[in-house]
Amino acid sequence: MALTKAILALENGLTIEGEAIGAIGAESTGELVFNTAMTGYQEVLTDPSYTGQIVTFTYPHIGNYGVNEEDVESGRIQAAGLVVHELSPMVSNYRANRSLQSYLEESGVAGIQGVDTRMIVRVLRSEGAMRSIIAHGDNLDARELVERAKALPSMNGRDLTPLVTTSAPYTWQGAHDAEWDYSPENSSSGSRKHVVAVDFGVKKNILRRLYHHGCDVTVVPATASASEILAYNPDGVFLSNGPGDPAAVTTAIQTVRELLGKKPIFGICLGHQILSLAVGASTYKMKFGHRGANHPVQNLRTGKIEITSQNHGFAVDPATLPSNAVMTHVNLNDQTCAGIALSDVPAFAVQYHPEASPGPHDSDYLFADFLALM
């Protein structure tokens, strides 16, 4: 089988040649980022927080256990493109029903393999996440691709939640999720709580963990107003993960501001940033972000270290937190803010993914904390 040439072009002028994978002949554009997880490529690619981004996996061999219908975090591939050292031509797992290559083809997502991902990651670590293009073909103009990459919109100032949020409220049907329950001994035995989850690009496993911990969940669009949320008379409000610049999600920031003190609030990732912005803190774009299933975080209240799953390119500036907001968790790789709690109202949030998927289960206790807060 003849291989199709591919080029990865970055806005800094770097062009890298490789082999086309995924939807041959398609083109992918977006912010080039890297993920350090060794497994979980299906969950990563279907995570709505990766909207507008091309993902480079640092682990060299991707696709070996294939793809199945269950291990998805949304209804489709959300990442704009894929960069790997080698896409496995073989699939070996009893749960797999197709290859990652066929999944990319069906989704119309272009990728590139046969490239030095270690070099790419070093470039991103030194120069920062960059706008990029993956193009397939034998007569590609590398210089033109670089110029087109430079013209792509920056992630700064972009509200991408309209691309991933639900169009209408719905109730999460979690009763069928028993097979996902990795800690049945920690499930709630008391009366169930009703939680309204604001969908900025929510992952399915977050909804599974909320249900497992004793919550019946109503999911509402990112544009839901405070009055619309309170009309459900929930026991608590959950703020989900999602893509883009948190400061650009202005409607949600105002909504959360109006909800403070009226219902207990728990936020994850983008939800953490939106809660922080609602109380007057600032956020900033990180150089290359945190993406992987192996990031150490310290709980400043207990002193314990958690190995966490993360995916974010923006962070909260702890120097801007108001007096009623306490930093509760810190990322040990770079000392960035990884969690806050408010002292005057029942609300807290973390900058990582306690639901994992992929990743370790060290932080699952946060769902129980939310239940206790309610």
Residues forming the active site: 269, 353, 355
Start-end of H helices in 264-348 = 270-278
Q: Return the exposure string of 281-308: e unless at least 16 CB atoms fall within 10 Å of the residue's CB, then b.
A: bebebeebbbbbbebebbbeeeeeebeb
Q: How many CB atoms lie within 10 A of CB 189?
A: 5
Strands 193-199 and 283-299: unpaired
Give the pair of three-digit tokens for residue 299: 């709980």
Largest CA-CA distance found in the chain, in angstroms, rounded? 65
Angle (nearest 5°) at CA 174 between 172 and 178: 165
Start-end of H helices in the chain = 41-45, 100-107, 117-127, 142-150, 204-212, 226-230, 250-259, 270-278, 365-373
CA distance linking residue 105 with residue 113, whole number of Å: 15
Partnered with residue 75 across adjacent β-strands are none
CA distance linking residue 338 with residue 363, whole number of Å: 12
CA distance linking residue 135 with residue 288, whole number of Å: 23
